[in-house]
């Protein structure tokens, strides 16, 4: 089955569930809860498909306008700019849909424990670890997750030797969103950054600092 056929199947199932849930005999049945849950899970995928269809349709219209030799020069310039923007947007929309179509895992709906540790490099490595920790904290906030700091071993200048946090969906968050574990549950890496010191007009020294995300 092609990707397009899979997307059409998702949209058709979403519409089928909507019609079924409107039926009086289903609304009072035990199947209603299961249907509602499936409908909620499919909704963000259907919305992503609609965004992709809209972008592709707009790109096709702009391509037709650009191919027309009678198009006004000023309109052509505007169409070219919009067309280039859509060429960058469409792949991102396609990737978003592919992420939504990934097979579900039981752990997807669970909370996530984030641990960041400073590696070699002294205070600079600790500062790097603190930057990483704040990056995940801010990302969690944009996703509507709770970010509870469970432990933090700070240095005197604002760095972190080690920090642990719990990421979970807040009570007011959209439950149709993929949960915290899906996004950061598979994170695990040794990360590094370089600090280049200009000690003289001719001498440059590069120091490398490490931080880890244990799994």
pTM: 0.54
Cα 118 to Cα 190: distance, rounded to the nearest angstrom: 10
Nearest to 46 by CA among 82, 13, 89: 13
Give me Rg for the CA atoms of the chain: 24
> Under 8 Å CB-to-CB from 163, ≥6 apart: which residues?
115, 116, 129, 130, 133, 149, 151, 152, 153
- CA 118, distance to chain mean position in Å, is 25
- Report helix, strand or coil for 188: coil
Q: Find tokens 């079924």 and name the residue.
A: 20
- Report helix, strand or coil for 203: coil
User: Which tokens go with 22?
Assistant: 């409107």
| Contact yes or no for 49/10 (Cβ under 8 A) | yes
For position 192, what pLDDT does the model report? 55
Provide the residue-wise pLDDT of the chain in tens; the chain has 215 residues. 677 888 899 999 999 999 888 887 776 677 888 888 888 888 989 999 999 999 999 999 999 999 988 888 888 899 999 999 999 999 989 888 887 887 766 655 567 777 888 877 778 888 888 888 888 888 888 877 788 888 988 888 888 888 888 877 655 444 434 445 445 555 555 555 554 444 444 443 444 444 444 54
Per-residue three-class SS string for 42-103: HHHHHHHHHHHHHHHHHHHHHHHHHHCCCCCHHHHHHHHHHHHHHHHHHHHHHHHHHHHCCC
Fold of 106-213: Alpha-Beta Plaits (3.30.70)
């Amino acid at each position: 089955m092609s990707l397009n056929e899979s997307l059409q199947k998702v949209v058709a199932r979403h519409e089928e569930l909507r019609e079924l849930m409107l039926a009086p005999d289903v609304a009072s049945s035990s199947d209603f809860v299961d249907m509602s849950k499936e409908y909620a899970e499919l909704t963000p995928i259907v919305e992503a498909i609609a965004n992709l269809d809209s972008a592709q349709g707009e790109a096709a219209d702009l391509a037709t306008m650009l191919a027309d030799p009678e198009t006004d020069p000023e309109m052509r310039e505007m169409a070219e700019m919009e067309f280039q923007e859509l060429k960058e947007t469409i792949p991102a929309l396609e990737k978003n849909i592919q992420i939504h179509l990934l097979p579900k895992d039981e752990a997807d709906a669970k909370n996530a424990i984030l641990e960041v540790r400073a590696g070699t490099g002294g205070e600079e490595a600790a500062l790097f670890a603190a930057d990483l920790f704040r990056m995940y904290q801010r990302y969690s906030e944009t996703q509507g997750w709770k970010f509870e700091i469970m432990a933090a071993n700070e240095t005197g200048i604002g760095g972190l030797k080690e920090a642990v946090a719990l990421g979970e969906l807040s009570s007011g968050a959209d439950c149709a969103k993929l949960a915290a574990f899906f996004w950061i549950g598979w994170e695990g890496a040794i990360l590094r950054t370089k600090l280049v010191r200009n000690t003289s007009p001719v001498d440059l020294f590069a120091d490398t600092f490490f931080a880890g995300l244990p799994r």
